[in-house]
């Protein structure tokens, strides 16, 4: 429950931040990607569609043709990452999150979660 | 409210609303305790961030960034930090109400009922909220 709720909150807040922060919204210009997240072995599996400067989040779902697939080691690791305590870009660079797809291109998109850390990190214990 | 406060208030409302949706569908103790609960619980933080949760026979559905025309009870907090303390369980809702930090409009008994709901939420969300 925790990870699904946290991911839902992050994506909701990303959408809301776009409404009140023009610079953040500007970063989404031209992005058209589907990001699949898998936590093994028990999930949850979720995916995110970023297109037309909008974010759509699907909980407990697997996309057939994601642009990028990220596979986390376990639930505990996923919570640490999505609470902002371990930046997802660092986890990808160090190989702690396995990636299918162009890793360098994916790293250009992780801002959409990492830019939330200064806003929400205090709430989730990462600041 | 600055951007950070707005976003945190929205995140807290999300945690409460969606948390209740999930708990009411998965937690057997919760279902047993609130199986007859009907009502509309609305939160308004600093007059800027609002959400409401509809309980029907103990099952919750939440609505972010919305206000209901006829909520059973509305909780209003004028100070963001106080709202944060209440919604994260650091300050008891009854104490906040008695101290004037939490305004409860509508059915006060349903307001008290929310304190019971909050106990389940705080337990469920303790890993998420610092």
pLDDT tens digit string along A13-33? 999 999 999 999 999 999 999
Shortest Cα–Cα distance, B122 to chain A (Å) = 12
Q: Is A59 exposed, middle or buried (0-12, 13-18, 19+ CB in 10 A)?
A: middle
Nearest 5°: CA angle at A108, between A13 and A42? Answer: 60
Nearest to B14 among A8, A79, A116 (CB): A8
Query: Between these two residues, B76 and A5, which has the higher pLDDT value?
Result: B76
Residue A75's CATH number: 3.30.1050.10
Res A105 pLDDT > 70: yes
B84: which chain A residues are within 8 Å (Cβ-Cβ)?
123
Res A126 pLDDT > 80: no
Query: Between these two residues, A36 and A2, which has the higher pLDDT value?
Result: A36
Question: What pLDDT score does B130 carry?
Answer: 62
Reported ipTM: the value is 0.89
Contact: A9, B15; criterion CB under 8 Å = yes
Nearest to B14 among A9, A79, A83 (CB): A9
Shortest Cα–Cα distance, B25 to chain A (Å) = 11
Question: What pLDDT score does B35 carry?
Answer: 93
Say how many CA atoms lie within 13 Å of A50 toward its Cβ.
26
Residue B73 belongs to domain spanning:
3-119
Say yes or no: A116 contacts chain B, CB-CB below 8 A. yes
Q: What whole-number distance in Å separates Cα of residue B90 and Cα of residue B87?
A: 8
Say how many CA atoms lie within 13 Å of A121 toward its Cβ.
13
pLDDT tens digit string along A106-125? 999 999 999 999 999 878 77
A84: left (phi over 0), alpha (psi -120 to 50) or beta: left
Helix/strand/coil for A21: coil
Task: Say if CB B55 and CB B34 are below 8 A apart.
Answer: yes
Length of chain A in terms of residues written:
127
Residue B113 lies in a domain: yes
Dihedral pair phi/psi, residue A44, rounded to 5°: -80, 155
Question: What pLDDT score does A127 carry?
Answer: 61
Residue B13 lies in a domain: yes
Chain A / chain B CB contacts < 8 angstroms: 65
Residue A56 lies in a domain: yes
How many domains does one find in chain A?
1
Interface of B to A at Cβ within 8 Å reads: 3-4, 6-8, 10-12, 14-15, 18-19, 22-23, 26, 64-65, 84, 124-125, 127-130
- Output the pTM of the full model: 0.92
Range in A26-30, A68-72, A74-78, B4-8 the model is least confident about: A74-78
Q: For each of chain B's 130 residues, which pLDDT tens digit applies?
A: 999 999 999 999 999 999 999 999 999 999 999 999 999 999 999 999 999 999 999 999 999 999 999 999 999 999 999 999 999 888 988 899 999 999 999 999 999 899 889 888 888 877 777 6
Q: Is the dihedral of CA A57, A42, B13, B50 positive or negative?
A: positive
Res A101 pLDDT > 90: yes
Residue A37 belongs to domain spanning:
2-115
Question: What pLDDT score does A90 carry?
Answer: 95
Question: What pLDDT score does A37 carry?
Answer: 94
Q: What whole-number distance in Å separates Cα of residue B96 and Cα of residue B91?
A: 7
Shortest Cα–Cα distance, A116 to chain B (Å) = 9
Helix/strand/coil for B112: helix
Residue B70's CATH number: 3.30.1050.10
How many domains does one find in chain B?
1
Nearest to A125 among B6, B64, B130 (CB): B130
Residue A58 lies in a domain: yes
Residue B130 lies in a domain: no
Average pLDDT over residues A28-57: 91
A21: which chain B residues are within 8 Å (Cβ-Cβ)?
3
Identify the band that residue A44 occupies on the pLDDT scale cut at 50, 70 and 90: confident
């Amino acid at each position: 429950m925790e990870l699904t709720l946290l991911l839902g909150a992050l994506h909701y807040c990303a959408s809301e931040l776009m409404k009140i922060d023009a610079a953040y919204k500007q970063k989404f210009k031209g992005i058209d990607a589907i990001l699949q997240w898998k936590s093994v072995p028990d999930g949850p599996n979720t995916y995110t569609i970023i297109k037309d400067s909008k974010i759509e989040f699907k909980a407990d779902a697997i996309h057939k043709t994601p642009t990028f697939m990220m596979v986390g080691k376990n639930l505990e690791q996923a919570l640490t990452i999505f609470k902002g305590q371990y930046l997802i870009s660092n986890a990808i660079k160090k190989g702690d999150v396995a990636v299918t797809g162009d890793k360098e291109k994916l790293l250009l998109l992780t801002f959409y979660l990492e830019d939330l850390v200064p806003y929400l990190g205090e709430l989730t214990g990462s600041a | 409210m600055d951007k950070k406060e707005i976003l945190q208030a929205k995140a807290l409302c999300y945690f409460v609303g969606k948390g209740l949706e999930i708990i009411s569908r998965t937690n057997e103790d919760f279902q047993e305790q609130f199986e007859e609960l009907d009502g509309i619980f609305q939160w308004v933080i600093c007059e800027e961030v609002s959400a409401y949760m509809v309980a029907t026979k103990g099952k919750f559905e939440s609505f972010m960034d919305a206000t209901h025309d006829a909520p059973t009870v509305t909780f209003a907090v004028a100070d963001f930090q106080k709202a944060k303390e209440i919604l994260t369980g650091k300050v008891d809702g009854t104490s906040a109400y008695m101290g004037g930090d939490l305004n409860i409009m509508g059915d006060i008994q349903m307001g008290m009922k929310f304190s019971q709901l909050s106990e389940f939420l705080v337990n469920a969300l303790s890993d998420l909220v610092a």
